[in-house]
Amino acid sequence: MEKIGVGLIGTGFMGKAHALAWNSVRPVFGDVPDVRLVHLGEANEELAQSKAAEFGFKKASGDWKRVIADPEVDVVSITTPNKFHLEMARAALAAGKHVWCEKPMAPKLAEAEEMLAAARASGKAAVLGYNYIQNPAIRHIRKLLDEGVIGTVNHVRIEMDEDFLADPEAPFQQRHEAINGWGALDDFGVHPLSLLHTLFGRVAKVMCDMAKPYPTRKTPDGEREVEVFDIATILLRLENGASGYIAVSRTAWGRKGRIAIQIFGARGSILYDQEKMNEFQLYLTADNPTEQGFRTVLSAPHHKPYDRFIPAAGHNLGFNDLKVIEFRQLIARMQGEPSVSIGFEEGILIERTIAAMARSFQQSKWTEVA
């Protein structure tokens, strides 16, 4: 490939993150085709024109279908609300475009299965926006696990917390509508599952509970029922036999971007927190008893591909840098090369696990993951 023509649908937080990644990937990595920002789509022409000028896109449309139909577009970024993912991804794949779609795949498992079928039929690369797995620190943790540095893992805990819905006086928003999914379970829960998938593999069975701390929210016309759950807690058993749990909350005051991972093995432990994403803690029983304790490992150029951004340790990568790495991995998929990414084939395993968690909650029992 000599060049890649990009289409972007949606220009909110994640749309901007995608645009920054598209603009940065060649200066950071160098070994990629010429990336051209071709066509941006939004809900109306005025907003589309404004964001196209801001992000650097050549064309803009108030109709997303025109982005997909554009012959200059090779790959489409989909960063719209979850309820639109199926229609947009299916249309893009049918038009012969590669797809970079934000997580989760869709609000319903049946829709995610349709997206997978469309990807298989198209033969095009279809990757999901799981950028946390791209962190060089996470990649090195995987390397330590593969090398058996902490021995056989017997227990894993992952907590994901933010506080953007913690205020009980905050108004009703689209995230509170059931059409977008279960709430924190799939909005947040897919991220811990992407990390479990990357570090360990499949989840075998789950036991899930969900909670709705604020049953109603204010609207201009009064109050409206909150249709989803902002807290979820899941016990789980990994396919390799290890036990664990996931806890997620969108109403945790003081937590801004926390994904805390604790991994306990026969010969040590590993700790990581996304709010301090450029470091992790390692405890090894092989150390002398007089010096045993958690050591902090800072991300550095030898933790690839940190070196592509910064030539010195401790200077730190950020959230948007992970999206740049993610896009580089999408390009690898597009070119048929090995890729550290979660495509629709892998993503459907996450969606099936979420569906099992939902069934577990509804039936109040342990549930096998199909």
pLDDT digits (tens, 9 = 90+) for 266-311: 999 999 999 999 999 999 999 999 999 999 999 999 999 999 999 9
In this structure, are 218 and 311 located in the same domain? yes
The pLDDT assigned to 1 comes to 80
205 and 139 in one domain?
A: yes
Q: Are 234 and 196 in contact (CB under 8 A)?
A: no
Three-state secondary-structure class, residue 210: strand
Q: Is 311 helix (H, G, I), strand (E, B) or coil?
A: coil
> Rounded to whole angstroms, how far apart are CA atoms 26 and 35?
7
Q: Are 5 and 69 in contact (CB under 8 A)?
A: no
Query: Whole domain around residue 208: which residue ranges?
Result: 133-315+325-332+341-368
Mark 34-59 as b/e (b = at least 16 C-beta within 10 Å). ebbbbbbbbeeeeebbebbeebebeb
Same domain, 13 and 161: no
Q: What pLDDT, on a 0 to 100 scale, did the predictor assign at position 264? A: 98
Whether 320 is in a domain gets the answer no
**Residue at which a domain ends, from 104, 131, 158:** 131
- What pLDDT, in 10s, does the model give residues 32-85? 999 999 999 999 999 999 999 999 999 999 999 999 999 999 999 999 999 999
Query: Are 10 and 85 within one domain?
Result: yes
Residue 208 belongs to a domain with what CATH number? 3.30.360.10
Q: Which residues does the chain have with pLDDT short of 50? A: none
* pLDDT, position 352: 98
- Report the number of distinct structural domains present in the chain: 2
Q: Do the domain assignments include residue 295?
A: yes
Residues 179 and 260 in one domain: yes
pLDDT reported for residue 300: 98
Here the CATH number for the domain that contains residue 32 is 3.40.50.720
Which of 91, 109, 131 is the endpoint of a domain? 131
Do 55 and 143 share a structural domain?
Answer: no
Among 115, 131, 147, give the residue marking a domain's end.
Answer: 131
